[in-house]
Amino acid sequence: MLKLNTAQNRTPGFDGKRLHLLESAARVFSRTGYDGASMRRIAAEAQVSPAGIYNYVAGKEELLYWIQYHTFDSLLRSLNRSLEGVSDPRVRLATAVRNHVRHFGENMHELKVCARELETLEGEAYDAVHERRRSYFEAFHNLVKGLQPEQGHQPDSWIATANLFGMINWFYQWYDAGRSRMSLDDLAAQQTALFLDGYFASTSNGDDGGNE
Amino acid sequence: MLKLNTAQNRTPGFDGKRLHLLESAARVFSRTGYDGASMRRIAAEAQVSPAGIYNYVAGKEELLYWIQYHTFDSLLRSLNRSLEGVSDPRVRLATAVRNHVRHFGENMHELKVCARELETLEGEAYDAVHERRRSYFEAFHNLVKGLQPEQGHQPDSWIATANLFGMINWFYQWYDAGRSRMSLDDLAAQQTALFLDGYFASTSNGDDGGNE
DNA sequence: GAGGCGTACGAACGAACGTTCGTACGTAAG
DNA sequence: CTTACGTACGAACGTTCGTTCGTACGCCTC
C-alpha cells in the first residue's frame, strides 16, 4: 500500500507539473472533500486527461498524501524560520500564531484539506503525515509551556494548546480572505491576545494585549 | 430537490425505527464521512436491507439533513433550557459552554457529522440547517456581548465568539471521552476560563476562573 | 376468507468511480 | 534514420454507488 512515485528519469518541468497537479487536486479536495472528488474532475481542473495523472502520482491516495505532508512540513519549516532570534515567550507565541494564520490565508485550499481529511489516510501514509502534524503541535505546546518558566509543571498546558489549535484551525470555517475587513495579521494578533489574556483584557485594551 | 418524507399512515414504532436509522447513519457518517458512507453500510449498521431504508427516508441526502437539523435544534433547545434563571453573564456563558460540551460528549457521532459536513448539503436543505446553526451561533454571540453591558458597542465580539466556537467545536478532533482523565464538565470549565481570562489567569488560579 | 395497506427484502438498474491498457507523439542519443 | 524512452490520451476494465422495482409477508377491517 502507498507505493510512492519513486525518482526516475524525468523530463525538465516534471516537478513543476506535479506541483501544479497537487494544487489542482487541493482545490478540488477542498471544494468537495476527498471522497467526493473524482480523478476526472481533478484532471479537468489541472487540464490533463484522467490517465495522465498517473504519470505523476501512483493514485488518488498519494495526491492527498503529498498535499498533507507538504503542507505540514512547510508549516513547520516556516515556523522555525520565523522564530529565529525571538526570545520573549509571549512574542514567540504571537509569532507562531501569526505564521500559522498567514500560511492559512495564503494556502486556504491545502490547509482546509489538512483540517478536514485528517483521518482519511491509513497505514504508512497516515503515520508519515501524523508525525509531521505531531511535531507541529509539539512546537506549539513547547511555546505554551515556555510561557511560565517559573512553574515547574503545568498539567493543563497540553489541553490549553489543543484549545489554541481549535481557535486557529477552526477559522477556515468562517473567515473569508477576500471579504473580511480584518487582515490575517490582525486576526492572529487578536487570537493570541484572546489566548493569553482572555476576552476581557484583550478587548478592553486597545492593542493586542501587550506583546512588546 | 429534497422531498421530505411527509407524514403518512404509520405503524406504531415507525418514529423509533427512523430514529434508530438516523443514529446508525450518524455513526457511519462520522466514521467515513458522508461521501465515503454507502447506503449498504448504513443498512448493515442499522440491521436493515438497503432497500428498507427508503421506507423511512427519501434518500441519502435526507439522512444527513435530519441528523444535522435535529442536532442543532436540540442543541439550541437544551441551551435555552439550561439558561433559565441564570442571570450573571459569566455564569451564563459558562453554562452555555458546558451545555455544548456535554451535548458533544453524549452525541459525539452526530456532532462530528455536523462539524465536518457543514457544506455538504445544498439548496433548501442547506438553508434549513443553516438557519438553525445561525440561531445557535447568535445565542452565543449574545452571551458574549452580554459580558460587557457597560460598553455600548463591541466590534470584535463576533470574532471573539467565532474563536470561542473554534475551541468548543475543534475538541472532537482530540478528545476521547473514554480515555481522557478530564471530565466533560471540567473541560468546559477550562475552556470558559480560557476564553474569559486567558491562559495566565485561568491556570494560575486553581479553579475555573470565578464562575459562582 | 377477502381485501387493503404498511413494511420488508432480493434483484437489478444506469451511472460514476479509480485505475489499466494499448497506442501515439515528441525528443534526445546512437 | 533508427532506437529508446518519457509523456500524453482514448477506451475500456471491473467494481461500487444510490436508487427502483416487483414481490411477499403480517396485520387490521369487513
Dihedral of alpha carbons A103, A106, A109, A112, sign = positive
Cell, residue B104: 458533544
Please tell me the distance in Å from B126's CA to the nearest CA on chain A.
15
Provide the percentage of residues in chain A whose pLDDT is more than 90: 78
Q: Which of residues 97-116 of A touch B (CB under 8 A)?
A: 116
B50 touches strand D (CB under 7 A): yes
Please tell me the distance in Å from A60's CA to the nearest CA on chain B.
14
Output B180 or B185, whichever has higher pLDDT: B185
Grade residue B209 by pLDDT with cuts at 50, 70 and 90: very low
Q: Who among A116, A160, A203 is closest to B203 (CB)?
A: A160
Q: What tens digit of pLDDT does each residue of A13-57 get?
A: 888 999 999 999 999 999 999 999 999 999 999 999 999 999 999
B51 touches strand D (CB under 7 A): yes
Asked if residue B212 has pLDDT above 70, the reply is: no
Asked if residue B207 has pLDDT above 50, the reply is: no
Do residue B170 and residue A159 have CB atoms under 8 angstroms apart?
Answer: no
- Tell me the mean pLDDT in the region B169-182: 90
Do residue A198 and residue B195 have CB atoms under 8 angstroms apart?
Answer: yes
Q: What tens digit of pLDDT does each residue of B88-133 get?
A: 999 999 999 999 999 989 999 998 999 999 999 999 999 999 999 9
Grade residue A204 by pLDDT with cuts at 50, 70 and 90: low
Three-state SS string over chain B comes to: CCCCCCCCCCCCCHHHHHHHHHHHHHHHHHHHCCCCCCHHHHHHHHCCCHHHHHHCCCCHHHHHHHHHHHHHHHHHHHHHHHHCCCCCHHHHHHHHHHHHHHHHHHCHHHHHHHHHCCCCCCHHHHHHHHHHHHHHHHHHHHHHHCCCCCCCCCCCHHHHHHHHHHHHHHHHHCCCCCCCCCCHHHHHHHHHHHHHHHHHHHHHCCCCCCCC
- Tell me the mean pLDDT in the region B53-62: 95
Q: What tens digit of pLDDT does each residue of B5-25 get?
A: 555 667 778 888 999 999 999
- Tell me the mean pLDDT in the region A62-88: 96
**Quick one: pLDDT at residue B7?**
54
Closest CA to B75 of B127, B158, B134: B134
